[in-house]
Structure 1
Amino acid sequence: MANKPNSNSSLDLKRRQLLKLAGATAAIGGFGLTTGLAHASETSGDAMVSTGQDDVLDVVIIGAGLAGLTAARDLQLAGNQSFLVLEARDRVGGRTLNYEVNGYVSEVGGQWIGPGQTAVEDLARQLEVGTFPTFYEGRTVVIGGDGRLEVDLQGTFGTDMTVAGKLSEMSREVPSGAPWKSPRAAELDKLSVGDWLAQQNIKPEDRSGWDASMTLTGGVTPAKMGLLHFLSMINSAGCDYEKLDSIKDSAQGTRFVGGSQALSIKMAEQLGDKLRLQCPVRKISDWDREVVTLHTDQGAIRARKVIVAIHPALCNRVQFEPALPAARAALQRAWPAHSPARKMAMVYSRPFWRDKGLNGHIMMMDGPIIWAWDNSPPNGEIGIINAFLSNANLPSDHETAKRTLTEIFADVWGDEALQPVAYHDQDWGRDDPWTLTCVSAIPPGFWTTHGEALRPPCGNLIWSGTETADIWAGYMDGAVRSGHQSALQALNALRRA
């Protein structure tokens, strides 16, 4: 027979519920948040920040890029409201960033998706963010020395398909999520892509094209990119090099209406007061115990599980007490962070180059432009040229850089190129201290040495971010996949506990 409720215990329960509600209300009021995006709190140091729910959250997520926000969204959809997202920047989006001009958007961070990238495609559909194809119709201008060539590449980068076919076939033996488990891992991880290309008897003029392509895809020359890692990237693309390194029907084939950062902005708006900006995490203590303490610029926060959705090299800026396991700490120290990238947007009143049968794409064999392309809005309402730039061949001063680039564009397209209406120069290495690198140029020997430490949790720390994805690691799709995975890990761990 069930016990009858005791009137005193019932009263105590109501008091506790009332106090918990009051505490939660006070916590929300103390966040200093507005609907959608949060503002920094005045709390600082190690003062404990009240978060309601007995001051211990189920989950804290570090990083409000695509991975962290996807994880938060999944927690929310699963019915878990006991979490916070902490972001060091004053904005969301991580390595995606929109530049707005005249009511239109151009991306100066990550921007493309392609075939097989179903996770980010599904997310966009759920958030009602539309897509449209990258513009490539017409002739590309290739500049080398004093020479100039116009060629219709038909949505490709003009890669030698015989060599590309060899890479595609080799990638079948290199699992994208764990390249170190390839039966040929020890052999392949000794070589750079440059070493392998040197064995293929490629003509010098074709080799320069490979150099440019590798710089675009991996942020470094072939000599610095590990062959094992590059094959794992091709494996993500269905073992088809063309789907990785082209425009038409490839990973650069599709753009987002309103820019790629729109995905993060929409997810952030749905989180409300569960997002805290300008809140870098400086130290994580007791990660090996039941409750973890995160020490931030807005005070200390406690949680049962922590999803670390930031770049592995950025983890080196966080102090861990106790120290992380040796293998994980070694992976973070060795992770390359030297490809921050520089990307510009030159805006014109209209895409006038299309009138000349040109697609706005420029490839320079030796100069300040690595690759330029037409990044105009869907219907060409205004003309926007984006380009990846070489810091070694272009002054860091934005006005000087603008003059240099407009002169190059005028040589290619005519004097109309001398009259841009706006210019934006995003040098990630200088402009964003929280983005150490835009892509991860994994060198030879890295995966066979450190790969096993990439994903296993450390105590109550769950590693997330695009670098941890099973497929499309390094891409926006990989970030979304890692967010789904880390949220699932956290929910399962909480259920078991």
Structure 2
Amino acid sequence: MDEKQEHVATVPPPSGGKLSRRGFLGVAAGAMAVAAMPGEAAALTANSNDVLDVVIIGAGLAGLTAARDLRLAGCESFVVLEARDRVGGRTFNHQLSGGYISEAGGQWIGPGQTAVADLARELDIATFTTYYQGETVFLAGDGRVAMDLHGSFGTDVNIAAKLDELARGVPCGAPWKAARAAELDKMSLGDWLVTQDLKPEDRVGWDMASQLSGGVAPAKMGLLHFLSMINSANSRYEQLDSIKGSAQETRFVGGSQILSQKMAEALGDKVRLSTPVRGISGWDQAEVSLHTDQGLLRARRVIMAIQPALCNRIDFSPALPERRSEMQRRWPAYSPGRKTAHVYAKPFWRDQGYNGHIIQANGPLLWAYDNSPPDGSIGVINAFVTQSGLPSDPKQAEIMLSELFAQALGKEALNPLEFHDLDWGQEPWTISCVSAIPPGFWTEHGEALHPPVGHLIWSGTETADIWAGYMDGAVRSGHRAALQALQTLRQVG
């Protein structure tokens, strides 16, 4: 991380406070977008007497969508502040040799995710289908089994049907409002699975599903929250956690980060990188002051397009209302996620009848999959891995995973041309890729998630009415936040 993002703020602290699963070509467009963006740590140039209509904190999909909507509505009095030296938030493209990319964060969209699909069409970004033709390989110790799952993960249809039925009564955007919320929120997904008398071999699949969807084992995943995720997918579990006809079905040409790169390119100097916000004062006044590493800004409205846990890194003066503050303090931030990419000269596994998908029981590998470019001109296998099961040293991690891939797909897997590894837990402005909401959280804290506080408007995928936690949810939340800002500004204008 850039040293400029870690140094102590030089602006005065606010009064009374102290500063403190899922998206190759077109990479040239992405490079142009980056080149067109403002240089990192560019000083804020607004006159101290200027007051912007809106300041947006966070240049991920939510924040940039909100900024784009403001401009489309004719508003030019805004700026987007991003703590990182790049845009994209929890989407990020590894740059591979030959101009190819591999997504290191969120990457997929699927049926029902119309907001992000519409955005891609408006930005002229093409899509293509995730490769799943052929046999998936299951590993358990030295054991190995291969079978064609036809684009699914081999879901237990009986258990899925029971979850679907429960999910129909859980509003995805406000699960705490479900008629049975108090009852369902007392249980973890693990507690509920125990009541289903599953065989050990069947339980493995659900453990993996919970890890991939929520970043935690079923024992830490709230049942109410899990049901709200299924509710987003038309209350069909298979539409949530499969590939064919599911939320992992479609990828973006050029990688998912290109969505943010293109929006930022069009916004130009409205986007300020390497500008973390350290303090916000006067959020209950007509003019809000934002204290950043690059200077002081004032605005009439502030869109907080970051996840709730990151709000804890900002000093608010006066302090936020207790309900909101407590919700942020309790927000789960222990699912950082780690994703790797092996690059080969070609997707050799396809010629052998494999789809490149590998699932390991009780090991460091959760799920590996074919992440090659649309034309299959090179071979890429991405993998979701556990932080604790894989060495932190990249070379050791590469060797361990290569050996697992060779066990599944043959000796050609032992010699990748490139290896890329991103542990999101080491990204100081991410903390957690997904939000694994535990039992009891929504019924206690849910009501504090959406309501604005003073002139602060909450955005980010976690606040979405549907597809919360996904790229689609981020885009939806950006649309809503921009509309809220415009409406409230009009009321006082």
TM-score (structure 2 length as normaliser): 0.92
Whether the 8 Å contact between 1:180 and 1:451 is mirrored in structure 2 is: yes
Quote the Cα distance in structure 2 between the aligned partners of 1:69 and 1:428: 21
Quote the Cα distance in structure 2 between the aligned partners of 1:216 and 1:303: 39
Structure 1 residues 78 and 42, CA gap change in structure 2 (3 angstroms): closer
CA deviations over 1:403-431 (Å, ceiling 9, x no partner): 1111222222222112211110111112x
2:10 maps to none
Partner residue of 1:188 out of 163, 184, 188: 184
CA deviations over 1:344-385 (Å, ceiling 9, x no partner): 000001000001100000000021211000000011110000
2:375 maps to 379
Quote the Cα distance in structure 2 between the aligned partners of 1:137 and 1:244: 19
Partner residue of 2:162 out of 142, 166, 172: 166
Amino acid in the other structure paired with 1:381: S
Quote the Cα distance in structure 2 between the aligned partners of 1:363 and 1:309: 34
1:468 maps to 463
1:452 aligns with 2:440: no
Whether the 8 Å contact between 1:34 and 1:272 is mirrored in structure 2 is: no
2:27 maps to none
Q: CA deviation at 1:308?
A: 0.3
1:482 aligns with 2:477: yes
Amino acid in the other structure paired with 2:185: D
Structure 1 residues 446 and 417, CA gap change in structure 2 (3 angstroms): same
Q: CA deviation at 1:42?
A: 6.0
Amino acid in the other structure paired with 1:174: V
1:70 aligns with 2:83: no
Amino acid in the other structure paired with 2:110: G
Q: Give runs of aligned pairs for residues 335-354 of structure 1, distance below 5 A.
A: 335-354=331-350
Quote the Cα distance in structure 2 between the aligned partners of 1:460 and 1:168: 38
CA deviations over 1:23-48 (Å, ceiling 9, x no partner): xxxxxxxxxx99731223464xxxxx
1:15 maps to none
Whether the 8 Å contact between 2:42 and 2:273 is mirrored in structure 1 is: no
Amino acid in the other structure paired with 2:484: Q
Partner residue of 1:436 out of 410, 431, 450: 431
CA deviations over 1:73-117 (Å, ceiling 9, x no partner): 000111100000000000000000001212111101000000000
1:40 maps to 40
Whether the 8 Å contact between 2:34 and 2:265 is mirrored in structure 1 is: no
Instruction: Structure 1: give runs of 5+ residues left out of the alignment.
Output: 1-32, 44-48
Q: Give runs of aligned pairs for residues 240-279 of structure 1, distance below 5 A.
A: 240-279=236-275
Amino acid in the other structure paired with 2:82: E
Quote the Cα distance in structure 2 between the aligned partners of 1:166 and 1:308: 37
Instruction: Structure 2: give runs of 5+ residues left out of the alignment.
Output: 1-32
Q: Give runs of aligned pairs for residues 152-163 of structure 1, distance below 5 A.
A: 152-163=148-159
Quote the Cα distance in structure 2 between the aligned partners of 1:223 and 1:308: 31
Q: CA deviation at 1:53?
A: 10
Q: CA deviation at 1:248?
A: 0.5
Q: Give runs of aligned pairs for residues 120-199 of structure 1, distance below 5 A.
A: 120-199=116-195
Whether the 8 Å contact between 1:34 and 1:273 is mirrored in structure 2 is: no
Q: CA deviation at 1:50?
A: 4.1
TM-score (structure 1 length as normaliser): 0.91
Quote the Cα distance in structure 1 between the aligned partners of 2:431 and 2:38: 24
Q: Give runs of aligned pairs for residues 307-326 of structure 1, distance below 5 A.
A: 307-326=303-322
**How many percent of aligned residue pairs carry the same amino acid?**
66
Quote the Cα distance in structure 1 between the aligned partners of 2:45 and 2:118: 36
Q: CA deviation at 1:460?
A: 0.4
Question: 1:391 is paired with a residue of what secondary structure?
Answer: coil
For the aligned residues, what is the CA RMSD?
1.3
1:293 aligns with 2:304: no
Quote the Cα distance in structure 2 between the aligned partners of 1:53 and 1:128: 39
Quote the Cα distance in structure 2 between the aligned partners of 1:36 and 1:291: 31
Structure 1 residues 132 and 152, CA gap change in structure 2 (3 angstroms): same
Whether the 8 Å contact between 2:106 and 2:471 is mirrored in structure 1 is: yes
CA deviations over 1:169-188 (Å, ceiling 9, x no partner): 11011001110000100000
Whether the 8 Å contact between 2:34 and 2:261 is mirrored in structure 1 is: no
Whether the 8 Å contact between 1:35 and 1:273 is mirrored in structure 2 is: no
1:420 aligns with 2:423: no
Aligned residues: 459
Quote the Cα distance in structure 2 between the aligned partners of 1:72 and 1:319: 24
